[in-house]
Amino acid sequence: MIFLTWIGYYPLWIILILFLYYQWGKTTAIRYILVLLSVSFIVFSLKAYLMVPRPQDVRIVLEAYGYSMPSAHASLSFASAVFLHPIAGRLKYGLWLLAILISISRISLGVHYPVDIVVGAFIGGFIGYLGYHLRPLSKSNF
């Protein structure tokens, strides 16, 4: 479970950005970066505003810092799964499984409550959807 939590930090996102750049081009990679930055900004703003403490009595192996609600790991994982779903082919099932396993690892390691994961997954999924489906404005829109 610690491995799943570890890949939920930055190595996975960097690999995905590079993969997107080489497979689908600069525009898709930039949109994905904007999704990750937007999710991070929203999640860390909510953490600072809500100030929900992390579980205290159940930490098994991992010490986590900061506030609990919402889960940044779940947000980023689900943002990635939703954003990449339309273009990932058969890999999309692996991305969904990875998002679920990363999220479960946060609960099983005792650093998040289930509601933190659900809220994080919703935020990430919503921003991932917007990031993929919203079209940039151009002069032809006016």
pLDDT at residue 126 is higher than 80: yes
Q: Mean pLDDT throughout 67-96? A: 91
pLDDT at residue 137 is higher than 80: no
Q: State the pLDDT at residue 140.
A: 45
CA distance 106 to 113: 8
Give 125's contacts (C-beta < 8 A, 6+ positions apart). 78, 79, 81, 82
pLDDT interval class at 41 (50, 70, 90): very high
Q: Cβ(79)–Cβ(127) under 8 Å? A: yes
pTM value > 0.75: yes
What is the chain's mean pLDDT, rounded?
84
Burial of 21 (0-12, 13-18, 19+ CB in 10 A): middle
